[in-house]
Amino acid sequence: MPRPSKPLISRAATVTASLEIIDSEGLEAFGLPRLAKHLGVRPPSLYHHFSDRSEILSAVAHEIIGATPMPRRRPGPDWPEYFVTFGSNLRRSVLRHRNAAPILLQHLPHDTLTERYEEAAAFLEASGVPARLHIRILLGVERLALGAALVDAVRRPGTGSALSPRVDPATRPTLARALAENEATSGQLFEEMLRNFLRGTTADEIESV
């Protein structure tokens, strides 16, 4: 059937199918033949919608980051909570597709992130946070969120606990003790880390202003 009445392929369906493969079978399983099969078409047909393989991967990365909701919150003195929410949302978006983490690194969608940072910067301004802190806050939250997400993504299992791959108390006694001391899940730790970072970043100003 050379041209179907209704198109069989769309960009959105291709991205969804790619993520389904990567989520359930791993990044190694991804390839054009595999993807085409999942869509019920032949591999060359994909080239009608994407110029090459890497364009598909970029669209996938774009989709993962683009699914991050922005916080709905009014500017004001409790502005740090906006960033706790933002960071957590970003982290969660990445972790939702943990097998895709390396793709995200190679095709980090700067435009999508930049769009969000513009909104966040405007929020900071409206909250009266000093301009010299803006970049520090934006980049700090980004790095904590992506760092936490990528590291968590890679420590495979869905254990809520913080450092997953069993630490041997015989050879790492101090670290094992530190882990035993901790009761928070890695999500809770992450929020706390964000709050602490924000508190430390504004510590000088708050006293001096």
Partner DNA sequence: ATTATCTATAGATCTATAGATAATGC
**Residue ranges in contact with a second copy by CB under 8 A:** 101-102, 105-106, 108, 110, 114-115, 117-118, 121-122, 124-125, 131-132, 134-136, 138-140, 142-148, 150-151, 153-155, 162-163, 165, 167, 171-175, 177-179, 181-182, 186, 189, 192-193, 195-201, 203
In the list DNA, a second copy, none, the entry touching 31 (Cβ below 5 to 8 angstroms by class) is DNA
Question: Can residue 38 be called a binding residue for DNA (CB under 7 A)?
Answer: no
- The nearest distance, CB 76 to a second copy, in angstroms, is 17
- Per CB under 7 A, contacts with DNA among 2-21 are 2-5, 7-9
- The nearest distance, CB 46 to DNA, in angstroms, is 8
- The nearest distance, CB 47 to a second copy, in angstroms, is 20
Question: Can residue 52 be called a binding residue for DNA (CB under 7 A)?
Answer: yes
Three-state SS for the chain is CCCCCCCCCCHHHHHHHHHHHHHHHCHHHCCHHHHHHHHCCCHHHHHHCCCCHHHHHHHHHHHHHHCCCCCCCCCCCCCHHHHHHHHHHHHHHHHCCHHHHHHHHHCCCHHHHHHHHHHHHHHHHHCCCCHHHHHHHHHHHHHHHHHHHHHHHHCCCCCCCCCCCCCCCCCCHHHHHHHHHCCCCHHHHHHHHHHHHHHHHHHHHHHHC
In the list DNA, a second copy, none, the entry touching 72 (Cβ below 5 to 8 angstroms by class) is none
Give the one residue of 24, 44, 158, 181 binding DNA; rule: CB under 7 A.
44
